[in-house]
Each structure stands twice: as C-alpha cells, then as structure tokens.
Amino acid sequence: MILAEDEASLYLQATTTAVFAPVGQTPVVPVAAQRDKVCFYGTLNLMTGQEVARRSEVMNAMATVQHYQQVLDTYPDVSILMLIDRAPWHRGQPVRQLLEENPRLEIVYLPVAAPDLNPQEHVWKATRRATSHNHHLKRLPDLADRFEGYLTANTFPSSLLDIYGYRAIRSMFI
C-alpha cells in the first residue's frame, strides 16, 4: 500500500478566486476578524484515490501519531509505505515509538521544499477550491465540517505511480 500524507490549516478567512458576476455587481466576500484555525491531517491512497482525514487542534508529534494510528486501523494487515514531508512533528519521540511498534508502516521522506512531489497537496487544493474559496460561512466549525465532508466523500486520482511505472510492473511483485 503506497500512501502520501500531509497536513493543512483551515481558517475562516475565505480564500478568494475569480467568479462570474453581473456587470457592476462585484461579489462581496466577508472578512473574518480572527485567525482561529482547524488543522487537518490527510493521507491519500495512491492506488484508489481514497482519503483518510483527521481533524486536529494542533500539528504536533502526538497528533501525528493519532493520525498514523488511524491510517494503520484503516489498512490493517498490509504493509504501508507512506510518503511525507520533513515537518518537525513527523520526527518526535512519539512518532519514532509508533514506527518501532508497527514495522509494517515505513516512512519515506520527500525532498526539502518540494510540495509538488506530494500528491496530498493536490487533494488540499481541490478541497479548498470546492469548499473554502469565496465561501460565506460565519462559523469555523461549519467550514471545517464542509472541508472534512468533501475529503471523505470524494476520491482524488494521482498520477504519481504511473509516472514511475509502478502500475505497469506491480503485477510482477504480487
């Protein structure tokens, strides 16, 4: 099982994008006065496009461990190769302990400053486009529900494995 993991922060502040409106009627996007946020952990199954998502108040080693445990529970009894970036909370003692206790989970660190290599980044982009661009919601929990609902209700195809010929040679190793 090959997965890609990343984290994102969601703010009530709407991200803006171009929209069509009648001439002379400029759309108004409300501005949130506070910078409250909700964090999301997301892991993309590169074969199926399915997403494992977890809402969190923070991004730290303990929250990372909770998400990795969710991934392990979602894919029991299979070896997992997970592609991740080099965020500091991916390397803490709780994470090292979880990896020692679960040898079927192997981590591969992506190069520094290379978000374009992580397919999970495309999931965030698609989800923001569908849920948080130009929104008019007044409560962060409502926006977070919409964001999480989109993540779990949709699949997100990735071409990463095709680029490197994985699907073509996979049958030789099963």
Q: Quick one: which H or E segment has residue 152? A: helix 140-153
pTM: 0.86
The segments of the chain whose pLDDT lies below 50 read 172
- The Cα-based distances of 64 to 40, 41, 59, 103, 158 in angstroms read 10, 8, 7, 17, 23
Residue ranges per structural domain of the chain: 2-15+29-173
Distance of alpha carbon 161 from alpha carbon 159, whole angstroms = 6
- DSSP, collapsed to helix, strand or coil, labels residue 11 as strand
Q: Which two tokens stand for residue 64?
A: 């990372």
pLDDT of residue 26: 79
Distance CA 61, CA 58 (A): 9
In sequence order, the 6+-apart residues with CB closer than 8 A to the CB of 120 are 4, 5, 6, 42, 43, 44
Distance from C-alpha of 137 to C-alpha of 134, rounded to nearest angstrom: 9
Angstrom CA distances, 81 to 12, 46, 78, 98, stand at: 34, 11, 10, 14
- Report CA dihedral (36, 88, 163, 122) to the nearest 10 degrees: 0
Fold assignment, 2-15+29-173: Nucleotidyltransferase; domain 5 (3.30.420)
Q: Summarize pLDDT for 102-134 with one digit per residue, the tens.
A: 999 999 999 998 888 899 999 999 999 999 887
Of the chain, the end-to-end C-alpha distance in Å amounts to 12
